[in-house]
Structure 1
Amino acid sequence: MEVAVPPPAVAEDITLGALLAACDLHPKLPLIFTYEGRPVRPGYHVTEVKAGQFAALDCGGNPEAWPEIFVQLWDVDDGDRTHMLAGKFAAIIRKVSEHVGLDQSAKLTFEVSDGVMPMQLHCAASPIPATDRLEVALAPRAASCKPRDRWLEEQKQAAACCDPRSDKPRC
């Protein structure tokens, strides 16, 4: 029986360093985060940036440890403001890093709220530059079972190894 693997919410889970690199390449473009099928409002604020180092046991009893950066976005209209430029966003993050010491390779999680609805956790895809914006798609961060995820990845790699269309050596 083949196990169905749901598609990930976004193509990847970018790191802080990858987001800053994209902002550095396009500092004068408005940085627009999208979630729930719409862009954040032009007056959005970065209200908090937090760095965490986590240690845990997964549901299989396996130890886990990882760094994670949380960027809190307050999705509001604020007068006649326009979307924040990518360069300004990068400057905010770097200022935090001077005081807190942010790990550029850390997993990046966005906490998003409009000030009325509860905050929701999101992961981010790689930024996509356009002529008039630098867009970052956010998707809800889903719960997962790490032992199951590892097993599914092993199955996928084993199948790719034995796939006759693969350029990898046969099993």
Structure 2
Amino acid sequence: MLLTERTNWQTFKATLEQYPDLTLQFQYAQDQWVDASYHITEIKQAPIVSVDCGGIMNTWTEVIVQLWEPEQRDTERAMPVSKALSIVRLVEQSLPLNPIGIVKIEFGNSQFDTRQMYPGEFIISDGNLIVNLVPDYTQCKATGRGQTCGDTNKPKLQMINLAGAGQTCEPGSGCC
């Protein structure tokens, strides 16, 4: 299943619930896989409030699933989807996760700097539910509104050089 938009928590969880008997695998780059001995170490919920370069306030929520590879492999087989779901249930007992929160997977190892990535595609193959991760990216929200950075449609100031006309400007005189 190819995802065309950022996946929300409700969709991500529902996809896991469809395939509890499969093995959950993550691919973080072309032919690069999170080691089968990975652990889901935490699930975070981050409310984001920002003001973009056009002066507009934005709010959204991210649900971040953190994966960790232990230095010593403790298994040859990745965790079953059912185990991941049991972790989700445990988390949701203490932290109700926003169903429309944007899902990010946080991962890094000695060859791949830690970063947050989006689930870009779910692939079912040979008894596995593979989550193909795609990089996060920066964007300018103002350009999506037809503006440019800093463009808040404010009138431009006109500069007048009074000194060129033989006049001087003293502090407090009102001419500056």
TM range (shorter): 0.7 to 0.9
Q: If the length of structure 1 is used for normalisation, what is the TM-score?
A: 0.75
The question of whether the paired residues in 1 share the 8 Å contact of 2:107 and 2:115 is answered with yes
Give the superposition deviation at 1:80: 2.9
Task: State the partner residue of 1:21.
Answer: 14
Equivalent position to 1:85, from 80, 88, 98: 80
Partner of residue 123, structure 1: 118
CA distance in 2 between partners of 1:151 and 1:39 (Å): 39
Aligned-partner Cα distance in 2 for 1:121–1:57: 21
Secondary structure of the residue aligned to 1:125 is strand
Residue 47 (structure 2) pairs with residue 53 (structure 1): yes
Query: Once superposed, which parts of structure 1, at least 4 consecutive aligned residues long, lie more than 3 Å away?
Result: 115-118, 149-152
SS in structure 1 of the partner of residue 139 of structure 2 = coil
Give SS of 1:119's match. Answer: strand
* Match for residue 74 of structure 1 among 43, 46, 68: 68
**Higher Rg of the two aligned structures:** 2
**1:30 pairs with 19, 23, 33, which one?**
23
How far apart in 2 are the matches of 1:44 and 1:79? Answer: 9
Give the equivalent residue in structure 1 for 2:56. Answer: 62
Q: Deviations over 1:35-90 (max 9, x none)?
A: 11122111011111111111111111111011111111113462334111111112
The structure that is strand-richer by fraction is 2
Contact 2:12 2:103 in 1 (8 A): no
Q: Percent identity?
A: 27
AA aligned to 2:66 is Q
Matched, 1:99 2:94: yes
What corresponds to 1:162 in structure 2? none
Greater fraction helix: 1
CA distance in 2, matches of 1:95, 1:36: 29
What's the RMSD between the two structures over aligned residues?
Answer: 2.1
Show structure 1 runs of 5+ residues with no match: 1-9, 153-171
Residues of 2 paired with 1:150 and 1:127: CA distance?
31
